[in-house]
Chains A and B, each alone.
Chain A
Amino acid sequence: MSFINYSSREINCKIVYYGPGLCGKTTNLQYIYNKTNPEAKGKMISLATETERTLFFDFLPLSLGEIRGFRTRFHLYTVPGQVFYDASRKLILKGVDGVCFVGDSQVERMEANIESLDNLRTNLQEQGYDLDKLPYVVQYNKRDLPNAAPLSELEELLNPTKVQAFEAVAPKGVGVFDTLKAVAKLVLTELKKGG
């Protein structure tokens, strides 16, 4: 749910990175955090287990510049990927303005990808959202690995509705900002339509 503050002249939006465990969601946020000027970002918060698996969420507040005198601020969240954290994932989707689904390119993870994508659709529906109507992009991460599935196969399995999709190697930053910009732009465009 966007929050438009006419008093402080700010537009605030929430973007959620969704995907199976270990697909690289946290790595996306870490890369964005590391490459952003200190003035444009707040602290990155990771509620993680001792083994650095996301327990509840990661959170990164980011400023993307001004439009007509309004500062645009994006709150980026990741969800915990493991199946048993479903209740937490539902909470994080509340009030979402845009979604990025991060798929793991490795052939072995294809079932986990499909399961997570189904789970995203279901959990959104429970909150009264329709994935096909939300600002939504897909990222195929881990393109650097030798066991990565061909792009055409990922497209067929994970992007039936043919939304914008990006190939990525998150630790190196490949595709990370392209993905973020694409979803942020869709969010603002949607707000413009609605407003």
Chain B
Amino acid sequence: MGNQLVMYEEELQQINGICDGLHRDSNAKAVLVIDKNGQAIASAGEVDQLDVTSLSSLTAGNVAATGGIASLLKEKEFAGQFHEGEKTHVHISLVAQRVILLVLFDERSSLGLVRLRVRKAANELAAVLDALIKKMEAGSQPSVFAEITDADIDNLFND
């Protein structure tokens, strides 16, 4: 299964840094980085009251559906999505075909500012993902699975 995403301490710190920067520079309420398949990777801002797991899965479903619509319309991809709420607005974009950047903001910010800052953050994020994928492909890092035995897996299911 060569199709997995692996996250290491070093890259996660970089991604967290990008999240923090975007949160600050765009005056956002919260920023999430989500794997295209719906797993949360990193976040910044007011996330304590958020159900990050649910939000991640639904956002990924939304992006997948929107991508599906784009291909039906023979569009390559829609650049981003914006949902306007009464208090909270949502900006969603896909980065490097791999991860999703979700920004929640309110009247302290604006769509224009968010768009501008997202563009910069997306470029930075794409560079980190590139490096991460090279690292994964090089296989230079020891895998947790090298240590896990069949007995470990069996034990997980004995109750």
Does chain A have a CB within 8 A of B138?
no
Task: Indicate whether A61 sits within 8 Å of B57 (C-beta atoms), given known contacts A4-B144, A67-B152, A91-B68.
Answer: yes
Point out the residue from B8, B36, B68 that lies within 8 Å of A7, measured CB to CB: B8
Q: Using known A-B contacts A3-B39, A192-B145, determine if residue A67 contacts B61 with beta carbons closer than 8 Å.
A: no
Asked if B144 and A11 make an inter-chain contact with CB atoms under 8 angstroms apart, the answer reads: yes
Which of A22-30, A117-125, A153-161, A183-191 lies on the face that meets chain B? Answer: A183-191
- Given known pairs A7-B12, A67-B148, A185-B157, the reply for A91 and B61 (CB within 8 Å) is yes
The answer to whether B153 touches A185, judged by C-beta atoms less than 8 angstroms apart, is yes
Which of B6, B36, B141, B145 counts the most A-chain CB atoms under 10 A from its CB? Answer: B145
> How many residues on the A side are at the interface (Cβ–Cβ under 8 A)?
45
* B122-159 CB contacts (< 8 Å) to partner A: 141, 143-148, 150, 152-157
* Cα–Cα, bound, A95→B36 (Å): 9
Contact of A4 among B6, B53, B154, B155 (CB under 8 A): B6
Cα(A57)–Cα(B58), bound, Å: 10
CB of B157 within 8 A of CB of A3, answer no
Q: Is the interface of A mostly helix, strand, loop or mixed?
A: mixed
Q: Which of B4, B58, B64 contacts A194 (CB 8 A)?
A: B4
A2 & B61 in contact (Cβ 8 Å cutoff): no
Smallest CB–CB gap between B75 and chain A, Å? 15
A188 touches B156 (CB 8 A): yes
Interface pair A45/B57, CB less than 8 Å apart:
yes
Q: How far is the CA of A2 from the CA of B6 in the complex (A)?
A: 8
Interface set, chain B 1-53, CB cutoff 8 A to A? 1-9, 12-13, 35-39, 41, 51, 53
Residues of B within 8 A of A12 (CB): 39
Which single residue of chain A is at the shortest CB-CB distance from B13?
Answer: A7
Is A162 located at the chain interface by the 8 A CB criterion?
Answer: no
* A11 to B39 Cα, complex, angstroms: 11
Q: Is A38 an interface residue (CB 8 A)?
A: no
Show the binding face of A for B, using Cβ within 8 Å.
Answer: 1-8, 11-12, 14, 42-43, 45, 47, 56-57, 59, 61, 64-68, 70, 72, 75, 87-88, 90-92, 94-95, 97, 181, 184-185, 188-192, 194-195
